[in-house]
Homo-oligomer: A and B are copies of this chain.
Amino acid sequence: MDEFASNYIPLINKCITELLEKKMKKDNEVVKAYYEKIMEYVLAGGKRARPIALLVSYIGSGGEDVDRAVRASISVELLHNSSLVHDDIMDESETRRGLPALHVQYERWFREMASDKFSPPRNSGISLGILGGDSLLELGIEAILESGFPEKATTRSIEEYIIAYRRLIEGQLLDMYLSGLTMPSVEQIIEMLKLKTGALYAASLKIGAILAGREDLLDDLEELGFMIGIAFQIRDDILGLFGDPRKTGKPVDSDIKQGKRTILVTKAYEVLSEDKARKLISLLGKKDLTDDELEFVRNAVIESGALSFSQLMAEEYMERCKDLIDELEMRDDQKELLKEIAERAVRRDK
C-alpha cells in the first residue's frame, strides 16, 4: 500500500495542481487569488485516500489507462474537500489539518486587501467559503469531464459522483439534526456515517469499476465503500477524542466543544449513572470546556466501555470488508490493497 500510494500521490497532486492552475489563468487578480487559495487548501491535505481507493478499484477491475484514471480520480478528492469546506462553516470550525479552515483564510485575505478604496463586506469569510466549497464541487465534475474516457463511462461516473454528493448532503443534514438531539441511538449514528462518509468511499470504488467497464461489481463495491467509510469514521471519532493532535492536526476537545454525537458519547451515556450521564450531556457543546471537564468526558468514555465498544465495532466492519473483498472477482494484488485500506481505516493513528 505504501508503495502504491507513494507512486500515485504525486500524480494525483500534479493533476489537482494542473486543474487549478488552469483556473488561475485569468486577467482578474481577485478571481486568480481566489483559486490559488483553493489550490493551496487542497494540496495541504495529504493522504488522498479516496482517489487511491478509486485507482485500486480501477486497476483491480482490469482498467489499463491509468493516466486517464488518475485524472478522473481527483474528482472524489475535490468533492471530499468541498464537503470539508462547507462543514467547517456549519460547524464553526476554525482549523483543518492544523491550518486555518478555508473560510478563515478567505476572511484574512479580504481583510488584508482592505485599503481606503476597499472595505471588506461583512461575513466575507463565510461568503467566500460557501463559494469555495461550491467551486470544489464543480471542479470535481470538470475533472471527470476532462479525463478523456468515453461518453458512457463519463456520464455514469458523473451519476455516481452526484449520488455521493446527495448522500453527503443528507448525511450532513442528519449530523446536524442528531447533534441537536439529547442523545441519538447508535443506529441513527451509523445511518448518518454511512451517508456522510461511506457514500464517498462507495462512489470512489464504483467509479473505478465503471471506468474499467465492470458494472457487474457495483453492488458489492457500494456495500464495501459504505463499510469502509463507517469504520473509518468510527476510528476518526476515537482519534478525535484520544488521538495525538500533532498527528491528527485536530485538538482533542474540538468534537466535545462542537457537541458532536459520536458512538463514543452515545454508548457512554447509555451506561453511565444518571448523574454522570447528565453531566456528560451538559458538557457536549460547551464552548469554554475546561481541561478537567475534558478529562471527565474521556474517563467516562473509557470507564463505560464505550471506547472499546467503538473500536471493536470498527474492527468488525473491517472483518466484514475483508470477507466481502475475498468474494470479489478482481485482480488479487489489488484485493490485497483493498484489504489494507480497510485495515488502515480502523488501525491508523492519524
- Mask, A111-143, CB within 8 Å of B = 1, is 000001111111110111011011101100110
Q: Is the CB of A134 within 8 A of B31?
A: no
A173 at the interface (CB under 8 A from B): yes
Which chain B residue shows the least CB distance to A153?
A: B151
Which chain B residue shows the least CB distance to A151?
A: B151
A279 at the interface (CB under 8 A from B): no
Tell which of B138, B152, B154 touches A166, judged by Cβ atoms closer than 8 Å.
B138
A251 CB, min distance to chain B CBs, angstroms: 19
Q: How many copies does the complex hold?
A: 2
Most-contacted residue by chain B among A34, A128, A170 (CB, 10 A): A170
Q: Is the CB of B110 within 8 A of A180?
A: yes
Tell which of B30, B117, B126 touches A174, judged by Cβ atoms closer than 8 Å.
B30
Which chain B residue shows the least CB distance to A259?
A: B121
Q: Which one of A85-93, A213-221, A315-323, A336-344 is at the B interface?
A: A85-93
Give A58 to B262 CA distance when docked, in angstroms.
Answer: 51
Tell which of B86, B138, B180 touches A162, judged by Cβ atoms closer than 8 Å.
B138
Q: Is the CB of B138 within 8 A of A158?
A: no
A160 CB, min distance to chain B CBs, angstroms: 11
Residues of B contacting A127 in the complex (Cβ-Cβ under 8 angstroms):
89-90, 176
Q: Which residues of chain A from 226 to 284 have any CB-CB distance to chain B below 8 Å in the complex? A: 259
Give A138 to B203 CA distance when docked, in angstroms.
Answer: 15
- Mask, A173-198, CB within 8 Å of B = 1, is 11011011110000000010000000
Residues of B contacting A124 in the complex (Cβ-Cβ under 8 angstroms):
176, 180
Q: Given A90-B123, A135-B166, A169-B135: A117 and B181 within 8 A (CB)?
A: yes
Which chain B residue shows the least CB distance to A141?
A: B162
Residues of B contacting A135 in the complex (Cβ-Cβ under 8 angstroms):
166, 169
Q: Is the CB of A131 within 8 A of B169?
A: yes
A299 at the interface (CB under 8 A from B): no
A201 at the interface (CB under 8 A from B): no
A28 at the interface (CB under 8 A from B): yes
The 10 closest A-B pairs by CB, nearest first: A90-B127, A151-B151, A138-B165, A151-B155, A30-B177, A118-B180, A121-B180, A141-B162, A131-B169, A117-B182
**Pairs across A and B, CB under 8 Å, 28 listed:** A28-B191, A30-B177, A34-B173, A86-B131, A89-B126, A90-B123, A90-B131, A118-B180, A118-B181, A119-B180, A121-B176, A131-B173, A134-B137, A134-B165, A134-B169, A137-B137, A138-B162, A141-B158, A141-B162, A142-B166, A145-B155, A145-B159, A145-B162, A151-B151, A151-B154, A154-B155, A155-B155, A155-B158
